[in-house]
Amino acid sequence: MSNKRKLWQIFGPVLCAFILLVILFLIPWQNGEKSDNALFKASVSQSQTVFKGQSIKQAAFEKNYVPFYGSSELSRMDALHPSVLAYKYKRNYRPFLLGGPGSQSLTHFFTMQETVNQLSNKKAVFIISPQWFTKQGQNPAAFGMYFSQLQAVDWILGAKDSVATRYAARRLLDMPAGTASETTKYALMTLASGQKLSKYQTLYLKARRRMLANEDNFFSSIGMTNNIPKIQKEAGKLPGTYAYDNLRQFANEQGKQGTTNNKFGISNGFFDKKLNNKHLKKLKDSQRSFDYTKSPEYADFELVLNELAHEHVNVLFIIPPVNEK
């Protein structure tokens, strides 16, 4: 057996596999139309892979799903959760939950970049948490949980030079997740300085986007939490016919039943686990000097406002009330 043949037998399969892998990720692939059940499951899963990706969100927003941007409050799937209400009363829309603990304005700005066309002239709900507006602003580790290179590349390729673009590029450069790719890092540095991308950068990033989009098509639905049974269970607790006054009465009754061990209107389980009398003494006056007037979150939130305005999104902003007790 010749040396060439021996080398081919050793390296040939590896080379063929590499070529097939390149073809697999560089040629546009579509997995077909997403089923209604798959979209419903994704919409209430709060999956980080769904949040980071684009294919499922794009498919959902092209139908009757409305993005609900928020943070940890979206995880509290009780009977009055918006997804439960929409399911129970067969509303003409369904919420698509985007966010979880640690997601803030900067997180949502970059996830919006993957659904720009689908958001245009549509509706959205944006829940603003007062605790976002701390001196530090977005926690870098939490940002990394919801960030993907696909988000960054989508934004970079569509960005036009402006004060907002330069600021967004600098903010992403501040995040370890944003500089994990050297190519992305140098592209961000280019935008932050007000310069245009080179032809090589643009060409490379377009190829990179195709690979990332294909990867998203293949893997974004893997490992989703199935919260549909939870939604169905909570829906069974609601009155059969929708009426605002009935729901308000139901909410008050549920609140009274679930807050019997403290005077603050806090759920029994949370109070027992996180607060109780021992911790209350330590917490008294501990936040008196907190200042929410100066925070990078304000500028991050302005990025979101600019994006929503640019796409003519009819958005409902919700600020959860602070417990005055």
Q: Are 102 and 140 in contact (CB under 8 A)?
A: no
Of the pLDDT bands very low, low, confident and very high (cuts 50, 70, 90), residue 21 is low
Question: What mean pLDDT is predicted for residues 96-108?
Answer: 95
Percent of the chain scored above 90 by pLDDT? 67
Q: Is 278 exposed, middle or buried (0-12, 13-18, 19+ CB in 10 A)?
A: exposed
- What is the band of 23 on the pLDDT scale with cuts at 50, 70, 90? low
> Using one digit for the tens of pLDDT, what is the confidence trace for 116-141?
999 999 999 999 998 899 888 999 99
Q: What is the largest CA-CA distance in the chain?
A: 86
- Decide if pLDDT at 20 tops 80: no
Beta-bridge partner residues of 94: 65
CA distance 133 to 125: 19
Summarize the confidence of residues 161-172 as an average pLDDT.
96
Partnered with residue 304 across adjacent β-strands are none
Over residues 3-29, the mean pLDDT reads: 55
User: Is residue 189 exposed (0-12), middle (13-18) or buried (19+ Cβ within 10 Å)?
Assistant: middle
As a whole number, the mean pLDDT across the chain is 88
- Please say if the pLDDT value at position 160 is more than 80: yes
Q: What is the reported pTM? A: 0.87
User: Containing H/E element for 225?
Assistant: none
pLDDT tier, 219 (very low <50, low <70, confident <90, very high otherwise): confident
What pLDDT is recorded for position 324? 67
pLDDT for res 141: 95
Please state, in angstroms and rounded to a whole number, the distance separating the CA atoms of residues 218 and 17: 18
The Cα 55–Cα 227 span in angstroms is 20
CA distance 71 to 81: 14
pLDDT at 281: 77
**Two tokens at 263?**
């005077």
Nearest to 118 by CA among 150, 144, 96, 145: 96
pLDDT score recorded for residue 7: 52
What CA–CA distance (Å, rounded) separates 151 from 158?
Answer: 11
Report, as an integer, the average pLDDT of 217-242.
89
Give the pLDDT confidence score for residue 270 in this predicted structure: 87
Give the mean model confidence (pLDDT) for residues 198-206. Answer: 93
Q: What is the mean pLDDT of residues 47-73?
A: 94
pLDDT at residue 313 in the model: 97
Compute the average pLDDT of residues 291-319.
94
Q: Is residue 317 predicted with pLDDT exceeding 90?
A: yes
* Stretch 13-17: mean pLDDT: 57
